[in-house]
Amino acid sequence: MPKYLENMERELIYVPEEVKVKPTPVQRNVLDVATELTLLYYEKNSFSSVDQIQETFVSFYAAVRAAEFSGSKDLIDFLSDNIKKIAVK
What range defines the domain where residue 33 resides?
A: 27-88
Is residue 17 situated within a structural domain? no
Both ends of the chain: CA-CA distance in Å?
A: 58
At residue 55 the predicted structure's pLDDT band, cuts being 50, 70 and 90, is: very high
Is residue 60 situated within a structural domain? yes
Angle at 38 between CA 33 and CA 43, to 5 degrees: 125
At residue 1 the predicted structure's pLDDT band, cuts being 50, 70 and 90, is: very low
Is residue 70 situated within a structural domain? yes
Is residue 54 situated within a structural domain? yes
Is residue 22 situated within a structural domain? no
Is residue 3 situated within a structural domain? no
For the chain, the domain total comes to: 1
pLDDT (tens digit, 9 = 90+) per residue, 22-51? 887 778 899 999 999 999 999 999 999 999
